[in-house]
Amino acid sequence: MIVPFINFAGQATEAIALYEIVFNVQDKKVFLFKDMPAEMKPNFPPETDHYVMHSEMTINGTPVWIGDTIQGITTGDMVSLSVPMSSQEEIRAAFDKLKVGGKVLMELVPTFYSPLFGTVQDKFGVIWHFICQE
């Protein structure tokens, strides 16, 4: 199994909150930098205390890990994710929520491989590919 890990630069908490709503997440775990053992804290700047060190959730049956990095990121190339769903209505609802503040890279359309496919980059720069498997 490969578990996607999405890196953010201080926006992980906000991203987790959005994904929790969009994908109806029920099993979220979040660990902050401020909660790490005292002996590890000198390795990290104090301004990262509110950063997410590690989080776990299940999106559409797949474990996804999310955290903030102090190394920096280039928005849009942190990772891209494919989300197979069984209903077009479910895809449209998730797609419409993620495109708010984001950018549609490919409108939801029927394709030769799926009754509905589309790609959206959310407001954090993460690219989501939605594919209907009905």
pLDDT digits (tens, 9 = 90+) for 101-112: 999 999 999 998
Question: What is the number of structural domains in the chain?
Answer: 2
Of 57, 73, 89, the position where a domain reaches its end is 73
Label residue 27 by pLDDT band (50, 70, 90).
Answer: very high
- Predicted pLDDT at 78: 83
Rg over CA atoms, the chain? 16
**Domain span at residue 126?**
74-134
The whole-model pTM stands at 0.81
Residues 97 and 31 in one domain: no
Residues 96 and 120 in one domain: yes
Residues 106 and 40 in one domain: no
Residues 6+ apart with CB under 8 A from 65: 3, 4, 5, 6, 54, 55, 56
pLDDT(71) > 90: no
Residues 54 and 119 in one domain: no
Average pLDDT over residues 69-84: 85
